[in-house]
């Protein structure tokens, strides 16, 4: 399968950031854009499904457009229908899940085919699911890292766009390891967005490869 460009021409690719918590990945993306390291994209909207999320407060401090769509107590499809409508209203081209602690419905995935990125704190397919850093530490791996991938219908499973690896040090504990992985996440997400936003790629099977122009 080959993927169409995210967007050609001069208009910036519009990002919709979805988060539920502290938002450090969102802030790293925002800083990459501000500093001019991540070009050709803009944050169209930050959407939180948790009203108290720190990431939401930070988006407001930065003067970015933000929306709260509380998901607690709502049916997945109903909440996702609102999220899709919100992202469309803000003309979002590429959805970036950044600590969004909610599974997406098939309708959400279908609304943005190969246009939803997720970040996970392990080298997938190892250690999907929650507390991946602790899982990797307890397993005793010598190398771990993070993965930015397209979301698909399975948890932490879609086509891999970027991975960054780090060694597990003898001196690490689960906390220090998680902190060092997070530092890599903050680099990896902007790198993955740049690659996807360029549109210069193809998806062959599960492989994300640069398109030869
Ligand atoms: C990150 O570790 C990310 O990989 C995982 O959730 C965490 C979100 O952290 N999906 P933050 O909210 O971006 O600081």
CATH number at residue 27: 3.40.50.170
73: closest CA among 106, 46, 97, 49?
Answer: 49
Percent of the chain at pLDDT above 90? 94
How do residues 25-83 score in pLDDT, each as one tens digit? 999 999 999 999 999 999 999 999 999 999 999 999 999 999 999 999 999 999 999 99
The verdict on residue 75 lying in a domain is yes
Which atom of ligand 1 approaches the CA of 97 most closely?
A: 10
- Nearest residue (by CA) to ligand 1, atom 14, is 24
Number of domains forming the structure of the chain:
1
pLDDT at 6 over 80: no
Non-local CB neighbours of 135 within 8 Å, separated by 6+ positions: 122, 127, 129
122: closest CA among 173, 185, 171?
Answer: 185
Burial status of residue 64 (CB atoms within 10 A of its CB: 0-12, 13-18, 19 or more): middle
Sole residue written with tokens 């607690």: 72
Q: Read off the pLDDT band of 9 (50, 70, 90).
A: low
In this prediction, residues 173-197 reach a mean pLDDT of 98
* Ligand 1 pocket, CB under 6 A: 19, 21-25, 55, 98-99, 119-121, 182, 185
Domain holding 71, by residue range, is 13-203
Give catalytic residue positions: 120
pLDDT at 93 over 70: yes
- 193 within 8 A of 161, measured Cβ to Cβ: no
How do residues 117-157 score in pLDDT, each as one tens digit? 999 999 999 999 999 999 999 999 999 999 999 999 999 99
- List strands edge to edge, sheet with 201-204: 66-68, 41-48, 13-19, 94-97, 116-120, 143-150, 160-167, 207-210, 201-204
Mutate to test the pocket of ligand 1, among 27, 31, 119 (most ligand atoms within 8 A of CB): 119
């Amino acid at each position: 399968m080959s993927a169409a460009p995210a967007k050609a021409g001069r208009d910036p690719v519009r990002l919709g950031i979805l988060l539920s918590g502290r938002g450090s990945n969102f802030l790293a993306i925002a800083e990459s854009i501000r500093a001019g390291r991540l070009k050709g994209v803009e944050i169209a909207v930050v959407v939180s499904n948790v009203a108290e999320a720190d990431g939401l407060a930070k988006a407001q401090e930065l003067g970015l457009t933000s929306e709260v769509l509380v998901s607690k107590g709502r049916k997945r499809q109903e909440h996702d229908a609102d999220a899709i409508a919100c992202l469309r209203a803000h003309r979002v081209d590429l959805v970036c899940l950044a600590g969004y602690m909610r599974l997406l419905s098939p309708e959400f995935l279908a609304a943005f085919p190969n246009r939803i990125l997720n970040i996970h704190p392990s080298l997938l397919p190892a250690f999907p699911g929650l507390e991946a850093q602790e899982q990797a530490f307890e397993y005793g791996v010598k190398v771990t890292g993070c993965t930015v991938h397209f979301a698909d219908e399975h948890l932490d499973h879609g086509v891999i766009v970027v991975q960054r690896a780090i060694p597990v040090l003898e001196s690490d504990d689960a906390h220090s390891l998680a902190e060092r992985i997070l530092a890599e996440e903050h680099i990896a997400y902007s790198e993955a967005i740049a690659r996807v936003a360029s549109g210069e790629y193809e998806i062959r099977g599960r492989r994300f490869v640069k398109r030869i122009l």
